[in-house]
Amino acid sequence: MQIIKSFMLSVVWGLIPWYLPPHPSALLQETYDNIPGQNKISFLLHAIRDASAAEEVRQMAAVLLRRLLSSSFEEIYPGLTLEMQTAVKTELQLALEVIVTLSETAAAMLRKHTALVAQSVPQMLAMMVDLEDDEEWAMADELEDDDFDSNAVAGESALDRIACGLGGKIILPIIKQHIMQMLQNSDWKYRHAGLMALSAIGEGCHQQMEAILQEIVSYVLLFCSDFHPRVRYAACNAIGQMATDFAPTFQKKFHDKVIAALLQTMEDQNFPRVQAHAAAALINFTEDCPKSILIPYLDNLLQHLHVIMVGKLNELIQKGNKLVLEQVVTSIASVADTAEEKFVPYYDLFMPPLKHIVENAMQKELRLLRGKTIECISLIGLAVGKEKVGFS
């Protein structure tokens, strides 16, 4: 083991450029290669967990372990003790990245080890439950950087990738029962994670989920009325993702229930991020919605969007809040793009407030809103035609 440590330290500190000819590095490399894989894993796991070790050593141990498992998985893994197999899998960020990478680059091999996959999926779900109980989150007007660099996001990304890599025949039977249990949990974090997991696996498990889509949609819609705002947010996320992954079947089968649920959630004035995400889900729904499906809802839909837009425009003027308004403007653009000439009766209703935004949203922090509004005006113009635009 001292030889391995010496080799690692040499590499870390650059004392031995092991990719060049010098004899000491070649000897250490050869010695390292000849050490049994089980011994390497045991030491590397210990090094990763050793809080007293230099950070560079722990990082190099993680790199070596990842390379070892990626290159010699079938040779080494079956010979590990149960304790060591468990130890490998509990190094969450590292071990899950190994498994996910194998699902993408060696899927056929990994399908032979479904027990490992079955043990890895709950670890991904456990990461997705790692959320802060922040009461201010749902009322924030800005998306924090932490939202994109957290254990929850890492777990969700891993789940998405492994579902795409291995497919629904492997992943859906493994994950379905876990998700159902999470959605019934009294802790909002588990319900949130269960809904986000459904969002994550839709692409990879498309064929298998489509067969039970009625059951899934009916269940997800219930959470649009959940008492916790972040669960409602996650329900909107699942709806929006399914609207993309299963279009246009999703729109054709569930238009009545989905539009009603999203409009109701968009009335959530106390929690701007929930309101904005409901509008974002509506964008996904209308983008791939057949025109014939959308037209019967047009009047009710646009009246709701107009009321919310005017209210949020006043809020922008008074408080500077913009997040919901950005999404509502994009929702209007998406509806107009799908409705085409059927949008003509609503042109005069929407154009004045949209022009007001373009003319007055000149501050740096409002650039995104102004850009979305210009895009919205352009799409409305294309929808209604030059005759209507010319007489305005």
For residue 28, what pLDDT is reported? Answer: 56
Average pLDDT of span 125-154:
79
Contacts of 92 (CB under 8 A, 6+ apart): 123, 126, 127, 151
Nearest alpha carbon to residue 96 among 186, 160, 145: 160
Average pLDDT of span 313-325:
93
Tell me how far the alpha carbon of residue 101 is from its chain's centroid: 18
Two structure tokens written together for 222 = 């219930």
Two structure tokens written together for 155 = 């777990």
Which 3-state string (H, E, C) describes the chain? Answer: CHHHHHHHHHHHHCCCCCCCCCHHHHHHHHHHHHCCHHHHHHHHHHHHHCCCCCHHHHHHHHHHHHHHHHHHHHHHHHHCCHHHHHHHHHCHHHHHHHHHHHHHHCHHHHHHHHHHHHHHHHHHHHHHCCCCCCCCHHHCCCCCHHHHCCHHHHHHHHHHHHHHHHCHHHHHHHHHHHHHHHHCCCCHHHHHHHHHHHHHHCCCCHHHHHCCHHHHHHHHHHHHHCCCHHHHHHHHHHHHHHHHHCCCHHHHHHHHHHHHHHHHHCCCCCCHHHHHHHHHHHHHHHHCCCHHHHHHHHHHHHHHHHHHHHHHHHHHHHHCCCHHHHHHHHHHHHHHHHHHHHHHHHHHHHHHHHHHHHHHCCCHHHHHHHHHHHHHHHHHHHHHCHHHHHCC
Percentage of residues in the chain having pLDDT higher than 90 = 58
Nearest alpha carbon to residue 195 among 163, 152, 161, 149: 152
For residue 10, what pLDDT is reported? Answer: 46
Instruction: With beta carbons less than 8 A apart as the criterion, state whether 230 and 188 touch.
Output: yes
For residue 87, what pLDDT is reported? Answer: 55
Question: Who has greater pLDDT, 238 or 114?
Answer: 238
Per residue in 252-309, pLDDT (tens digit) is 999 999 999 999 999 988 899 999 999 999 999 999 999 999 999 999 999 999 999 9
For residue 18, what pLDDT is reported? Answer: 38
Considering only 51-55, 165-169, 372-376, which range has the smallest mean pLDDT?
51-55
Given a cut of 50, is residue 2 above it in pLDDT? no
What is the average pLDDT score of the chain?
84
pLDDT class of 123 with cuts at 50, 70, 90 = confident
**What's the predicted TM-score (pTM) here?**
0.77
Nearest alpha carbon to residue 219 among 204, 197, 203: 197
In the chain, where the domains are located: 1-90
For residue 76, what pLDDT is reported? Answer: 62
How far is CA 166 from each of CA 99, 193, 201, rounded to the nearest angstrom? 11, 21, 11
Nearest alpha carbon to residue 229 among 106, 137, 345, 126: 137
